[in-house]
Amino acid sequence: MTGMIRLGHTITKDFSTRSTTGEVTDADSVPTCNVYEDTTISPILTPTCTKRGSNAGDYYFQIPVTTANGFEIGKSYNIRIVAIVGGMTDAAMVDSFIVDTPARPTGLVVADGGNSATQFKSDRTETTNDYWKDVLILFGTGNLAGQIKKVTGYIGSSKIFTFTFGYTGTPATSDVFEIINI
């Protein structure tokens, strides 16, 4: 599963077709791709699959995740490929994702002697206490990349985020994080 995809982004996925013996080989014709919303029966989109170069069985497709293509924030989608190889039809779900808001606020960790696994100073500009309380902070860089925690407090005068349940370590200066409203 890809996870969360922001509205307005384009997904590019590679896949391979295989013979009944498992050998990577070209499909008899170009495979088809369908995108389904939640549990719908009819696809909302049928992206074009394209052969990638001269390598046997290598294909890709692109999906522009836009409202014009029928995507909605908060809904889940499944991508299904159908291919015929050696006269045999096979189908597989190759990915699923949820559409997220177009962009999230971001920030950087600022050097501070009080930075720890349960609090850190940021470059955010909001001065209201608890402005960011109850949001999630997802680190995108550094040793904490991929870790996500719920904010239990924000001190507006010092730009410090606090957490009851800390990260696995102290974020480094200039680590990038995203703010996710829940």
pLDDT at 171: 98
Q: In whole angstroms, what is the distance from residue 114 CA to residue 126 CA?
A: 19
CB 140 within 8 A of CB 176: yes
Percent of the chain beyond pLDDT 90?
Answer: 86
Strands 88-100 and 3-6: parallel
Place 1 in a pLDDT band, splitting at 50, 70 and 90: low
Whether pLDDT at 163 is above 70 = yes
| pLDDT (tens digit per residue) in 3-43 | 888 888 899 999 999 999 999 999 999 999 999 998 899 99
Q: In whole angstroms, what is the distance from residue 129 CA to residue 127 CA?
A: 6
The CATH number assigned to the domain with range 3-100 reads 2.60.40.10
Q: Quickly list DSSP for 11-61.
A: EEEEEE-B-TTS-B---SS--EEEEEETT-SS-SB-PBEEE-TTSTTEEEE
Q: Which residues contact 151 (CB under 8 A, 6 or more apart)?
A: 132, 133, 134, 135, 136, 137, 161, 162, 163
Whether pLDDT at 101 is above 90 = no
